[in-house]
Amino acid sequence: MSNSSDRSRPPISSAGLAGLLAWIGLLVALSWWMAQQAYRWLPVQASTAAPLVDGLFSFETGIGTFVFGGVVSVMAWVLIKHRAEKYDESDAEPIEGNTRLEVIWTVIPLLLVMAIAVYAMRVNTKLGVLGPMEHIHLANPVEDQGGYAADRLPAEQVEVIARQWSWEFSYPSVNVSTTELHLPVDQPVSFRLVSDDVIHGFYIPAFRLKQDVIPGRAINFNLTPTRQGRYRLRDSQFSGTWFAANQADVVVESPEAYQAWLKNAASQPLQPGLSDAVIEYGERKQLKNPGWATVPPAPPPQVNVPGSNSLPHDA
Amino acid sequence: MTSATFPPSPPENTSWSRYFGFNTDAKVIGIQYIVTAFFFFLIGGLLAMIIRGELITPPADLVDRTVYNGIYTMHGTIMLFLFIFPVLNGLNNLLIPTMIGAPDMAFPRLNAVAFWLVPIFGALLIGSFFVPGGPAYSGWWSYPPVSTQNPLGHFINGQGLWITAVALSGVSSIMGAINFVTTILRMRAPGMGFFRMPVYCWTALAAQSLQLIGLPALTGGAVMLLMDLSFGTSFYQPEGGGDPVLYQHFFWFYSHPAVYVIILPVFGIFSELFPVYSRKPLFGYVYVCLASFIIVALGLVVWVHHMFPSGVAQWMRNFFMFSTMLIAVPTGVKVFAWLGTIWRGKLRLTTPMLFCLGGLFNFVFAGITGIMLATVPVDIHVSNTYFVVGHFHYVIYGAAVMGIFAAIYHWFPKFIGRMPYEGLGKLHFLLTFIGANLNFLPMHPLGLMGMPRRVSSYDPEFAFWNVLASLGAFLLGVSIIPFLLNMVSAWVRGPKAPHNPWNAIGLEWLLPSPPPEDNFGEHVPTVISRPYGYGTGEPLVEHQAEIENQLTLEEARA
Ligand code: HEM
Ligand SMILES: [Cu+2]
Ligand SMILES: [Cu+2]
């Protein structure tokens, strides 16, 4: 209720100042708490990249909470305190601007976003997740490899072939092919990502990593899993009718279990791999009205281990 | 503005029929645009209900997967090209000439042609539901090679119609942009220098300049896509040596700035309305004006933030991350200016003010998730997930559509001449605000958990948040009922509006409601001060008191 009589109000009373400081303290505490909560909104951390990404996200959540809380507090205060009285048709005090304030609220956000950007760039450099570099003239040789920088030069390169609509993983050195990706824990792995048809997205949420698989290129992509378990790999770039069903399991296990799996896999005969699209397409063709035309799914790849996509997974 | 360039207006035609034909009065065209846009909004909304109906349970059980893909593609396309751009062009048509004291747009016939292209390409798009093979299904991005796959092999197909419609929409928008820019630059009232121009005109000028710079890239990219689809070229086909990522550059070079084409005028609306309903001048007017153009400049160099995972060099990722984050600064200047405006004001919580406050609340939230998306490592995780869908619906529904509703309630009395009903308006606001937050907030946890966007089915662990989102969506669907009721009943038999029901300051409020065909005609008042002189006692134009007396007298006589 600011009526026109208090035009020359004093800057701020000491009680007001104390209240303001207490409120800011509360906001800081809330922001801190939200930053801690942020970790819980994300899937389990299963790669070296995950803690880095999560740390950045938590930092951003904290700052974001503070900014949002600040703005909403001002709005709430105004709504409570500065409503016009029922029959008051008069204008408020015409404050048109304040250059010092303008400078302050330009510089503070500038510093804030730059702080976030610098933090993000450091994480970025550490991650070194990179896409295909072969067409970029400025690329320096180091940049040719993706993945966590410390993970360079892994022992084995797994070939990933994305299709409409299945994922095939092959381990050339041991001659194993599968539609369920197995990886040893704590060991860097390098992928060679290729697509047979359209753009797909290689995305394992528990690893926090994602890379588009672009037809006509082979993309090297490195990462290091750090937690044993079963995770989902999801296609993240819309790839047509069975896009949603284009998923696979990623099993991260101990090096011994991994070696045993590889050995066992190598001894299995080739059989059709997992492809929900092929199954659904078959059912669809039986229907009297099969619906709008669609690109027919590629035949399921011939693999040693098809895996299953109905097992419980950690993320 | 002499009568030599503008022949004396014929006696005013106030019949309904003028809205159904080729008319060159910007106010008629404005209303044609807005009504058409809301017609398509209802269709787009219906499609959204089907999307959310499908996603209320994990399996793909409500509609076939092909149908789902067509529906989400058409939802996005209709909402952008047939709702939001047309509705904003409608507001431009109503507001720009009246706010600057021009009798009409600079090129009235071009203006009408630009409008009539909208129902034409709208019919093309909607018609694509009925061609064999159904509508385009590759998302409003239409990334190749998915968009150049043509399973039926027909020459006439949904995707081809889609590209044609988008190209036509580009032509229409360029026509509009030329008109708005010229009108603002050349037809302002005497005395209205740039720094006496309402902020809405600044933001419209900024947004329409972006259209002129960006649209040719999209249209060119779309033509190449059509060649690939229909004539076997391989601009984007890897088999023929083309590069699908090239399309993404063309596409986003326009489509990122497009988000500013949408949001800048909404900033303009906020800047017009907060002062009226707080009874205070806009805080930091000059900074708010300039910030629009800083946003334009920065907005042109951020498009790669949509392509972080598609394989761009590390230096590009860092560069585009910095440039994107810089946009937070001029945007922040605006947000703080609005807070400064309402601070110690005398707030009136009318329907338009509620929509502005709700819109600001949602926009700040969207800004924070936007910063998260700008940082490469977080974006790598959440890009192409529901986090992004949540983020942009906060911007587009939470802020832009809310701002548009605010504008409609605020200027309805001016252009229709009747008052909308407050009760229905407040109900509309309440349902919209709750519905939008219930719909779009749950999308953020979904994205963080890793649920990709554009999926027709999903794993059961995502079920909880999806149920909430769908309930929110249905509430949003309901929220449109009081709005339509309000508009129709107020238009037909609402109380007659005085020339300035909100006691607002601006040239448009010195016109009768509704304004005559050529607005001020030859009697354009001379502007003598800045806009938003609430509480300063300074008149906006010469002889203001006489003009107002005259208007009030006429109202009393009627
Ligand atoms: C009731 C209101 C709305 C609901 C429930 C809704 C829901 C959705 C959903 C669930 C998607 C995700 C499709 C997907 O990516 O899987 C989507 C996409 C989209 N929506 Fe909405 N939406 C609404 C209103 C709007 C409005 C008002 C606009 C714009 C003015 C809009 C623009 C878009 C766009 C551009 C997409 C992206 C389509 C794509 O991914 O290609 N939506 N909407
Ligand atoms: Cu090159
Ligand atoms: Cu963008």
Q: CA-to-CA distance for B406 and B401, rounded, in angstroms?
A: 9
The structure tokens listed for A236 are 């993240």
Integer distance in angstroms from the first to the last C-alpha of chain B? 29
Query: What is the pLDDT, as a whole number, of residue A126?
Result: 80
> Which chain B residues in 137-156 lie under 8 Å from chain A, judged by CB atoms?
137-139, 141, 143-146, 149, 151-152
Looking at A112-121, A140-149, B481-490, which range is the least confident one? A140-149
Residue from B185, B230, B225, B226 nearest B208 by CA: B185
Q: Is B539 on the interface with A (CB under 8 A)?
A: no
Give me the residues paired with residue A183 across strands.
A252
Q: CA-to-CA distance for A246 and A195, rounded, in angstroms?
A: 13
Q: Indicate the length of chain A as a whole number.
A: 315
Q: Does the pLDDT of residue A5 top 70, yes or no?
A: no
Per-residue pLDDT of A169-226, as tens digits, reads 999 989 999 999 999 999 888 899 999 999 999 999 999 999 999 998 888 888 889 9
Give me the residues paired with residue A233 across strands.
A248
Instruction: Please tell me if the CB atom of residue B398 comes closer than 6 angstroms to any atom of ligand 1.
Output: no
Q: Does the ipTM exceed 0.85?
A: yes
Query: What is the pLDDT, as a whole number, of residue B10?
Result: 47
Cα dihedral across residues B57, B60, B63, B67: positive or negative = positive
Q: CA-to-CA distance for B39 and B21, rounded, in angstroms?
A: 17
- C-beta of residue B361 within 8 angstroms of C-beta of residue A98: no
- C-beta of residue B181 within 8 angstroms of C-beta of residue B187: no
The share of chain A scoring above pLDDT 70, in percent, equals 87
Q: Is B528 left (phi over 0), alpha (psi -120 to 50) or beta?
A: alpha
* Cβ distance of A71 and B329 shorter than 8 Å: no
For residue A165, whether the previous peptide bond is cis, meaning omega lies within 30 degrees of 0, is yes
- C-beta of residue B515 within 8 angstroms of C-beta of residue B101: no
- C-beta of residue B373 within 8 angstroms of C-beta of residue B379: yes
CA atoms within 13 A on the CB side of A222: 21
Angle, helix A49-81 to helix B328-342, in steps of 10 degrees: 20
Q: CA-to-CA distance for A253 and B18, rounded, in angstroms?
A: 73
Q: CA-to-CA distance for B535 and A94, rounded, in angstroms?
A: 5
* Cβ distance of B244 and A241 shorter than 8 Å: no
Per-residue pLDDT of A224-250, as tens digits, reads 899 999 999 999 999 999 999 999 999
Residues in chain B with CB shorter than 8 Å from the CB of A115 are none
Cα dihedral across residues B401, B407, B409, B414: positive or negative = negative
Instruction: Please tell me if the CB atom of residue B443 comes closer than 6 angstroms to any atom of ligand 1.
Output: no
Residue type, A66: F
Query: Given A199, A206, A293, which is nearest B133 (Cβ)?
Result: A293
Residues in chain A with CB shorter than 8 Å from the CB of B70 are 292
CA atoms within 13 A on the CB side of B14: 9
> Which chain A residues in 155-194 lie under 8 Å from chain B, judged by CB atoms?
none
Residue from B262, B268, B267 nearest B99 by CA: B268
φ, ψ dihedrals at B57, nearest 5°: -125, 150
Top residue of A96, A107, A134, A217 to mutate, by most chain B CBs within 10 Å, is A96
Q: CA-to-CA distance for B532 and A245, rounded, in angstroms?
A: 56
Residue corresponding to tokens 């040789």? A141
Residue A108 burial class via C-beta count within 10 angstroms: exposed 0-12, middle 13-18, buried 19 and up: middle
Residues in chain A with CB shorter than 8 Å from the CB of B290 are none
Query: What is the pLDDT, as a whole number, of residue B495?
Result: 95
Query: What is the pLDDT, as a whole number, of residue A129?
Result: 53
The structure tokens listed for A105 are 């609220």
Could you read off the pLDDT tens digit of each residue along chain B, which spans 558 residues?
A: 333 333 444 445 667 788 888 889 999 999 999 999 999 999 999 999 999 999 999 999 999 999 999 999 999 999 999 999 999 999 999 999 999 999 999 999 999 999 999 999 999 999 999 999 999 999 999 999 999 999 998 999 999 999 999 999 999 999 999 999 999 999 999 999 999 999 999 999 999 999 999 998 898 999 999 999 999 899 999 888 889 999 999 999 999 999 999 999 999 999 999 999 999 999 999 999 999 999 999 999 999 999 999 877 888 888 999 999 999 999 999 999 999 999 999 999 999 999 999 999 999 999 999 999 999 999 999 999 999 999 999 999 999 999 999 999 999 999 999 999 999 999 999 999 999 999 999 999 999 999 999 999 999 999 999 999 999 999 999 999 999 999 999 999 999 999 999 999 999 999 999 999 999 988 999 999 999 999 988 999 999 999 999 999 988 887
Query: What is the pLDDT, as a whole number, of residue B31?
Result: 96
For ligand 2, the distance from its centroid to the CA atom of residue A134, given in whole angstroms, is 8
Query: What is the pLDDT, as a whole number, of residue B241?
Result: 85
* Cβ distance of A234 and B450 shorter than 8 Å: yes
